[in-house]
Structures are given as C-alpha cells and as structure tokens.
Homo-oligomer: A and B are copies of this chain.
C-alpha cells in the first residue's frame, strides 16, 4: 500500500540512502542522480513517512498547544496566529484541550510525540510545567505564565494595562469602582488586578472586597457578577473587567437589568478582541497585539527546541494601550 523510499530507489536504480539524500537536496548527490530520483518519486507519488523520519531523526516537527476551553471566544484569536506562525516555521500543531493537568502530562505529552508544548492556560498552581521540565520537554507560556523566574513566556504588560484603566476611571471622576477580575490562580488575573489596585491607591481611591468579584475568564463570570455588584449598598459607577469576554457578560447583564451603559455604568474590558468593536458593544478596552503575542510564543518555543535560548529564561512582554470607545463616561 504505502510507497517507501525503497520503492523509489528501485525505480530510479539507486540505493535507498541516495533517495533520502537526493530528496533532501543533499549537496553530495550529483545533479543527474538528484533529478532521476525526483522523477521516480514524482512518478510514484512518493511522500516520506513521517513516522520513519521521526524515529530516525528524533524530531517530530510537531508542537502541542494546551488550552482548557476552546469555546471561550478568546482562544481562537490566539490559536489561529499560533498555528500560522508554527506552520511557517515548519511545525504542525496538536491541539489538546484538557481539564486536568495530570492526565495530560502522563500519557500525551511525554511520549515523544511532539518536540515542544505551548501552555496557553497555565495556572499558577499547575504541576504541569514541573513535569515537562523534569522530562526535558521544551515548553513556553502564552499569555499566562507562572510568575516565577526562569519561565519562557510571551505575555502582556498586564499590570501596566490595569494601571491605564485605573487612571482613566479616576480622571473621569469615578470613585465607587468595582472589579470583576480573573481567577486568582492566573497571572493575567492577578497582575491586572494588581496594577489596577496600585494606581487606584496612588489616587487615593479604595477598592473594597465587597466590590470585587473573581472568577474564570468567561462570559458567565461577568453575566453573574453584575447583579451581585448592583445589590451592594452603593452601586458602583464603573466596572473594570478581567478581559473582554467577561466585560461582554457584564454588558449583557446590564441590558437585562436595565442598567444604561455608559450613562449609569462605565464598563472596561481587556484584550480588544474583534468582537469588542461590534456596534452592539463598542467596548472601551485595553488593547495589545494578540497576533504578535502568539507569534512571539511560537518563535520562542522553536528557539527553545533548538536550544537557542537564554538558559535563565526569557520573558517577552508586549505593551498595552487604552482604547476609548462607547462604554465609558464621566461619573455622575
């Protein structure tokens, strides 16, 4: 059934190693032989077996990408450019969406079926990085990392982004401010909250725990958080959300509750997904270059696979920018 390099060799009247070399444009084979071999390969529709090559070279040209929930609108915008960049670097992408770290690590990541791994949904308490480290499997963090030194990571200046938002809200006169932050075991959640808090504190504005919600970076987190925040004695005049998806949950909840945005409530997101600029939202948010974030992660991983990397770790940080649209206003 399958056509092998031996079949090509027979047809071309050469040995199998010569076929291997000719098709890989090894300069040691003569022009004439090379062409003869290529014609034979063409005639037989020969495609080298990836398994044979992998076994021989010990490289799979395959990279795993780990994500928890693909249906979250955030991840496709990471995965698409990641795929394209990996592809142009000669790697293929294995998508792994998994709930539990442990199961993933044992079977799927350590069987030498990929050359490296991109962790797009790492939590600070995950044991996965340590397992990968122990087995010598190259990996990089994308968007989130562990926050520890020595990481290889492509991330955003989350703290700076949080600061930007705090300053804007203060400048708009907001004093009763709420936060719907990401989960506490994610660096994206923690750092955005941290930057936001620090800049608020500098301006002398408090952020009591009663006006803080933390949860997964999901639509439902925002959708359920708003009613809770509105029940407080003094409802907030502004909400900073952990990311755009959460903010969109808040916007929908506001519509359901009859709360006018931005007249009654200012809502700010983070990420600037394409969706944020849809007419129905016109979400004021914090932009960073999601494409470049992903590409950078791909290139970093490939460099790490090639061991062309600073052994002390590399942390590539992209800047953020405030994007005013239509969900913010002066405090009333």
Within 8 A of B (CB), among A106-143: 106-108, 110-113, 135-136
Q: Please, which residues of chain B bring their CB within 8 A of the CB of A97?
A: 80, 83-84
Contact A50 B111 (CB under 8 A): yes
**A16 sits at the interface (CB 8 A):** no
In the bound assembly, the distance between CA atoms of A29 and B253 in angstroms comes to 62
Interface residues as binary, A70-109 with B (CB distance below 8 Å gives 1, 0 otherwise): 1111011101100110000000111111000000001110
A95 to chain B, nearest CB (A): 4
In the bound assembly, the distance between CA atoms of A79 and B253 in angstroms comes to 28
Within 8 A of B (CB), among A241-289: 248, 251-253, 255-256, 274, 278-281
Within 8 A of B (CB), among A218-240: 219
In the bound assembly, the distance between CA atoms of A106 and B46 in angstroms comes to 10
A301 to chain B, nearest CB (A): 16
Task: Count this chain's copies in the assembly.
Answer: 2
**Range for the number of chain A residues in contact with chain B:** 35 or more
In the bound assembly, the distance between CA atoms of A256 and B282 in angstroms comes to 11
**A52 sits at the interface (CB 8 A):** yes
Q: Given the interface contacts A50-B113, A70-B79, A252-B280, does A96 sit within 8 Å of B107 by beta carbon?
A: no
**A51 sits at the interface (CB 8 A):** yes
Pick the contact of A55 from B52, B73, B278, B281 — CB < 8 Å? B52
**A317 sits at the interface (CB 8 A):** no
Q: Given the interface contacts A50-B111, A94-B95, does A80 sit within 8 Å of B69 by beta carbon?
A: yes
Pick the contact of A51 from B51, B76, B92, B108 — CB < 8 Å? B51
28 contacts between A and B (CB under 8 A): A45-B135, A47-B106, A47-B107, A47-B111, A47-B112, A49-B55, A49-B112, A50-B111, A51-B51, A51-B54, A51-B112, A51-B113, A54-B54, A62-B94, A70-B76, A70-B83, A71-B77, A76-B76, A83-B97, A92-B96, A93-B94, A93-B95, A93-B96, A94-B94, A95-B95, A255-B280, A256-B279, A280-B280
Name 4 extra pairs, CB < 8 A, besides A49-B112, A73-B76.
A47-B106, A70-B76, A80-B97, A94-B94
